[in-house]
Amino acid sequence: MRLLFFVLVFILFALSGVGRASETAVERGLFVSVLEQPTVLSDRQAITDLVSFSKKNNVKILFVQVYRANKAWFPSSIADSSPYRLYLQSLGEDPFAFLIRQAHQEGIEVHAWLNMLSLAENKDAPVLKKYGPSILTKNLTPKRTLDDYKIDNQFFLEPSDKRVQKELLLIVREVLHAYPGLDGIQFDYIRYPDTAPHYGYSSDNIQRFKKAMGVKTIDDKSKAWHDWKRRQVTDFLRALVKETRALRPKIHISTTGCMSYIRAYEEAFQDWPNWVRSGLAEFVTIMSYPDTAEDFQKSILDAQKRVMDFSKIKIAIPAYKAVIAPHIFKEELDSCLTSGSGGCIIFYYGILKANPSLENYFTPSQEKTRELNRP
């Protein structure tokens, strides 16, 4: 009887070790950008190659860009869907739907990656043609031409504008209806611009702030004004999440987050740690692109201070910055793999494909796999 007891204890201990081993494995992911040349969604073989690459490298999640600069790589009556129509004609079927099917056959998740509040440099964006520049966020510098609204070479939509919210909610609805097999949705550019962060001065936002606060003027440095802008960003995300959950209650919902945290909170008015703590976002992918591996490690340490459960944070690793110095990519990947984060997401796939030296670092070795799976 005593022998049987010890055998049972040993089995339970072994099983618990297996559980811990699976929990310690760090999820690998890829951003797949429409800026890649050629664009993955433009070619059936390119989609097949992406899935094969992902399987080979233990990639479990793909963040596929299907909305950028008010252009759609999916069937849309709201955004400019010319990219989708072009690729649909080329492939003979919906390329994103084909990618989802191919990925699912290999056990790989696909999340739609949507750039929400940036129009990039697209002066012909349908939403801009429809409403004019009044939907763009702005500072107090006089605006004589449309180019005067550019911030860091981009046009940024005002997050508090109800017209903006209506258009973007419709776009999210289109994505969710078009792809019932979609595993998740990641909202990118949920923020104000952080270059010289004195924005938010659209007429509607000014009027609403003054009425809510009972003031006649705005102090750009005041806590009330900063808190207001931060609340507009969070309220916009809350509207996106509510719409998504109404249509797809079980889909994964995530966002990207700026780093450093101070930059996110005080300049982009983006409170991503609170989004995680409150459950508004299932996880956040932090975008930290410093010039050195040492600064990258510091950004991870900073992020770890902001949330109790670091498994709800995924870390984007900027492969494009390491092309000249591949060892930086390896050091940053190693920092991510040992950080306790919920995943290491490479930004982006096209850079790995174009630079085999980086791909070799990304391919899990047997030794590293044993290390990750050690209880």
Domains in the chain, number = 1
The Cα–Cα gap between 65 and 83 comes to 12
Other residues' Cβ atoms within 10 Å of the Cβ of residue 179: 21
Listed in sequence order, the residues at least 6 apart from 208 whose beta carbon sits closer than 8 Å to its beta carbon are 160
Instruction: Please report whether residue 202 resides in a domain.
Output: no
Looking only at the bridges linking them, the beta strands covering 343-347 and 252-258 are: unpaired
CATH number of the domain residue 102 falls in = 3.20.20.80
The Cα–Cα gap between 359 and 349 comes to 9
Q: What is the pLDDT of residue 359?
A: 80
Residue 101, domain extent: 25-136+144-192+230-372
**Nearest-CA neighbor of 113 among 54, 37, 30, 180?**
30
**What is the DSSP code string of 62-109?**
EEEEEEETTEESS--SSSB-HHHHHHHHHHSS-HHHHHHHHHHHTT-E
Q: For residue 219, how far is the Cα from the chain centroid?
A: 32
**What is the DSSP code string of 210-228?**
HHHHT-SS--TT-HHHHHH
Instruction: Please report whether residue 208 resides in a domain.
Output: no
Q: What is the pLDDT of residue 320?
A: 86
Q: What is the pLDDT of residue 85?
A: 97
Listed in sequence order, the residues at least 6 apart from 65 whose beta carbon sits closer than 8 Å to its beta carbon are 31, 32, 33, 34, 35, 73, 113, 114, 115
Instruction: Please report whether residue 169 resides in a domain.
Output: yes
Mean pLDDT by 10 residues, the chain (375 residues): 43 36 68 93 96 94 98 98 96 97 98 98 97 95 94 94 97 98 98 86 94 94 96 98 97 96 94 96 94 92 94 94 85 92 94 84 58 41
Tokens 């609805």 appear where? 173
**Number of residues assigned to the chain:** 375
What tokens appear for 358 in the block? 């980086």
Instruction: Please report whether residue 274 resides in a domain.
Output: yes
Distances (CA, A) of 350 to 73, 123, 316, 319: 17, 26, 15, 9
Distances (CA, A) of 325 to 331, 345, 347, 357: 11, 19, 16, 10
Q: What is the pLDDT of residue 365?
A: 59
Instruction: Please report whether residue 188 resides in a domain.
Output: yes
Whether a cis peptide bond, with omega within 30° of 0, leads into 159 is no
Distances (CA, A) of 252 to 26, 110, 373: 18, 10, 25
Instruction: Please report whether residue 18 resides in a domain.
Output: no
Supply φ then ψ for residue 116, to 5 degrees.
Answer: -85, -60
Residue 352 in contact with residue 346, Cβ under 8 Å?
A: yes
pTM here is: 0.89
Q: Mind listing the pLDDT tens digit for each residue in 301-316?
A: 999 999 999 999 999 9
Instruction: Please report whether residue 17 resides in a domain.
Output: no
